[in-house]
A = this chain, B = another copy of it.
Amino acid sequence: MSYERANIESMAGYVPGEQPTSTGVIKLNTNENPYPASSQVAAALARIQVEELRRYPSPTAQQFRETAARYHQVSSDNILPTNGGDELLRLAITTFAGPGDVVGIAEPGYSLYPVLTEVQDCRLLPVPLLDNWSLPSNFVAILNDAGARLALLVNPHAPTGMLLSAQQLIEIASSFHGVLVVDEAYVDFVDPDQQYDLTSAIKEHDNLLILRTLSKGYSLAGLRFGYGIGAKELLAPMMFKTRDSYNTDYISQQLACAAIDAVDDARESWQKVRSERARLTKELDQLGLPSLPSQTNFILTQCPNADSAREIYHGLKESGILVRYFDQDRLQDKLRITVGTPEQNQRLLQSLKLLVS
């Protein structure tokens, strides 16, 4: 017999991007940083002795809180370390939205959000993005009218790569009656010219929860380390009640501190990605595969139609290049391609040339 709760039994789980075990594959499907983490992270890893793992880690990852607080110019009480950004999303839902409560999202968005709301048995309120992929002007009114307790937005947006301004998000936080989670998984790749900064807004907005991760910007997807930034009172119930008591491990705490301390090394990788992003966007365009201006480390490319998108996806896979295809409304004729190294991007473009000609 089945022992699952009814809402769990009826749902489908999240399907992560493929993780090939073969090392020959060019992996442009899960938005990993193509450059390795700082040598200072490697040095921190080399310093760890197995004897240090005998004891429980700091339950709050206090040293990381202080390190991240210095970087963001906030207090350590404004930092909540988590086992990847995914844990922060789950904690926000667990803490702020109960079964039957409304959770608002923009659609399309990160496909994990609906899965997490189903686990919690919340009522999902998907608000479709406009044709130009911007939020409808009555977004907050829709949320408030439905009594939404929580809203989840990814910025820069996935899978389009587009950036909402901090001002627009601050206006949403100001008028929204629930908690606004802004998932900044890709924020490190935003062009500095955009002068995007939402972090300082947590001082004025006690319902604003910002998600950061070391997976992309710091080349540490394998480490599972993310964190939330928000008002002390907003973070407190997640920090002291709903979080698993030792949610981050000793090694990841040490490496995460080293990564933030060596942010200048990570910045070099961000700049290289931005530069390749510009080149790749232009070259794709010349191949008849136009895309929106991306502020992330991926590009959402428009194919002639859904059939050709699927064909290109499979054709690339056969030549050892993985990209992401979403078989869902409005995305069926597009491909999401992670920006790789110049060599990887060159291989991609060569394969694409053969497939689209």
Bound-state CA distance A94–B115 (Å) is: 13
- B206 contacts A223, C-beta separation under 8 Å: no
List the number of copies, as a whole number: 2
Residue of B nearest to A149 (CB): B3
Bound-state CA distance A233–B326 (Å) is: 28
Q: A206-B1, A249-B223 are in contact. Are A215 and B56 (CB under 8 A)?
A: yes
Contacts of A53 in B (CB 8 A): 37, 41, 219-223, 255
- A98 an interface residue at 8 Å Cβ cutoff? yes
Residue of B nearest to A221 (CB): B56
Chain B nearest CB from A92 CB (Å) reads 10
Q: A5-B95, A13-B241, A223-B249 are in contact. Are A37 and B55 (CB under 8 A)?
A: no
- A96 contacts B57, C-beta separation under 8 Å: no
Chain A 235-274 interface 0/1 with B at a Cβ cutoff of 8 Å (1 = within): 0010011101111111110010000000000000000000
Residue of B nearest to A54 (CB): B219
Residue of B nearest to A87 (CB): B244
Chain B nearest CB from A287 CB (Å) reads 27
Residue of B nearest to A58 (CB): B19
Q: A96-B3, A98-B121, A246-B16 are in contact. Are A222 and B8 (CB under 8 A)?
A: no
Chain A 27-46 interface 0/1 with B at a Cβ cutoff of 8 Å (1 = within): 10010111111000110011
New A-B contacts (9) at CB < 8 Å, excluding given A8-B241, A14-B245, A54-B219: A13-B240, A32-B54, A41-B50, A50-B255, A54-B222, A119-B242, A221-B246, A223-B251, A224-B248
A-B contacts, 13 of them at CB < 8 A, read A8-B94, A16-B59, A19-B56, A19-B58, A35-B54, A46-B46, A53-B255, A55-B222, A57-B221, A86-B246, A99-B121, A112-B245, A249-B249
